Amino acid sequence: MISGRAELRLIEREWTSLEQYLGVPANRAALWPKSWQVIRLWLRTTLLFLLGATPVFAQQYSLEVSQYRHTSWTAQDGFFNGGIASIAQTSDGYLWVVSDGGSLLRFDGFRFVEWKPPGNESLPGNPILNLLGARDGSLWIAGVGLAEIKANGEFRRYH
């Protein structure tokens, strides 16, 4: 039977040899993973990645690229002359554009249509500075004053 002191000396010698073998202090040697654990972990993560990865396609192969690309719009498409002062998109997919001339245009993906308020209402005074598409589908128009076009088409002006 080994005494307690002899057992401590034996453990101390084993730690010292481990420290020399690994090249790290003995108190840190226990923190180093064994090489087989590292290999096992790498194999598991690689296998999970390969099994979990699914092919993703950006578009259908039967469609041609020309169906997705449109380079310019002309006056025949309802586009205006001049520049764009502000642009926003509402949750229904429409793009709303304010021209340099102060016109508010709605773009549906094919053509621009000038939008005018109903009845005797008017847009906020020129210049219209900003457009904002809200989460509820409404469009906020900021100029000299503030206006809102709700998702149901209702127009409201705030002075």
* Mean pLDDT in residue range 77-99: 82
Q: With 60 as the cut, is the pLDDT of residue 5 above it?
A: yes
- Overall domain count for the chain: 2
Q: Does any domain span residue 49?
A: no
Residue 68 counted as domain residue: no
31 and 96 together in one domain? no
Q: Please report, for residues 95, 133, 135, 137, 138, the alpha-carbon distance to residue 91 in angstroms, rounded to integers and kept in the order given.
A: 10, 7, 7, 5, 8
Q: Are residues 86 and 142 in the same domain?
A: yes
CATH of the domain at 92: 2.40.10.500
pLDDT tens figures, 100-145? 877 888 888 878 888 888 888 888 877 788 898 988 989 998 888 8
Average pLDDT score over residue span 11-31: 60
Reply yes or no on whether the pLDDT at 28 is more than 60.
no
In terms of residue numbers, what domain contains 9? 4-44
Same domain, 37 and 111: no
Element (H, E) at 89: strand 84-89
**Residue 96 β-bridge partners:** 88, 106
Is 39 among the domain residues? yes
Same-domain check for residues 37 and 82: no
User: For the residues 67-86, what does the mean pLDDT come to?
Assistant: 70
Lowest-confidence segment of 22-31, 87-96, 116-125 by average pLDDT:
22-31
Residue 67 lies in a domain: no
99, 29: one domain: no
Q: Is 31's pLDDT higher than 60?
A: no
Residue 69 is assigned to a structural domain of this protein? no
Task: Examine the pLDDT at 4 and tell me if it is beyond 70.
Answer: no
Instruction: Work out the pLDDT band at 15, boundaries 50, 70, 90.
Output: low
Q: What is the mean pLDDT of residues 65-88?
A: 71
In a domain, 36, yes or no: yes
Q: What pLDDT is recorded for position 107?
A: 86
Within the chain, how many helices (H) and strands (E) appear?
A: 3, 7
Decide the pairing of beta strands 104-107 and 112-114.
antiparallel
Do 15 and 88 belong to one domain?
Answer: no
Nearest to 126 by CA among 148, 147, 111: 147
Residues 94 and 30 both lie in one domain: no
Rounded (10°) CA dihedral 17, 18, 23, 25: -100
Q: Is residue 50 part of a domain?
A: no
